[in-house]
Amino acid sequence: DSGVTQTPKHLITATGQRVTLRCSPRSGDLSVYWYQQSLDQGLQFLIQYYNGEERAKGNILERFSAQQFPDLHSELNLSSLELGDSALYFCASSYQGQGSGNEQFFGPGTRLTVL
């Protein structure tokens, strides 16, 4: 158990819909990362937040957005869903203190199926 929690574990929805994925980081971690993993694309970095602010942005679509709240939990919002958005979505957290690298602790993931 990494200490990172993600809800829901599974999500089935239809094209065009909007969903919200939630992540709670490990106690004390300030950074939250979101990743998308599909069979043909591997592990794709989407976005990172540090202490409530956007820190780095990867291959995140304009239909997707995220935020980190004052209690440090994060939400990933996916809208106008397409079949190709079906994937495992992972959240990770790290402390990201001075001199550290970027050791991340991953949650169990949310499996999104778009029908």
d(CA 107, CA 6): 6
Q: Which two tokens stand for residue 40?
A: 């043909």
Q: Which two tokens stand for residue 114?
A: 């778009």
Q: Does 103 bind another protein (CB under 8 A)?
A: yes
Cβ 80 to another protein shortest distance, Å: 25
Return the DSSP state at 99: T
Among 24, 36, 48, 68, binds another protein (CB under 8 A): 48
Cβ 77 to another protein shortest distance, Å: 20
Cβ 16 to another protein shortest distance, Å: 27
Q: Which is nearer to another protein, 14 or 43 (CB)?
A: 43
d(CA 89, CA 7): 10
Q: Does 98 bind another protein (CB under 8 A)?
A: yes
Q: Which is nearer to another protein, 17 or 102 (CB)?
A: 102
Q: Which amino acid is at 4?
A: V
| Beta-strand relationship, 5-7 and 10-13 | unpaired
d(CA 26, CA 65): 22
Q: Does 105 bind another protein (CB under 8 A)?
A: yes
Which residue ranges make up the site for another protein (CB under 8 A)? 2, 4, 31, 33, 35, 42-45, 48, 50, 55-56, 58, 88, 90, 92, 96-109, 111
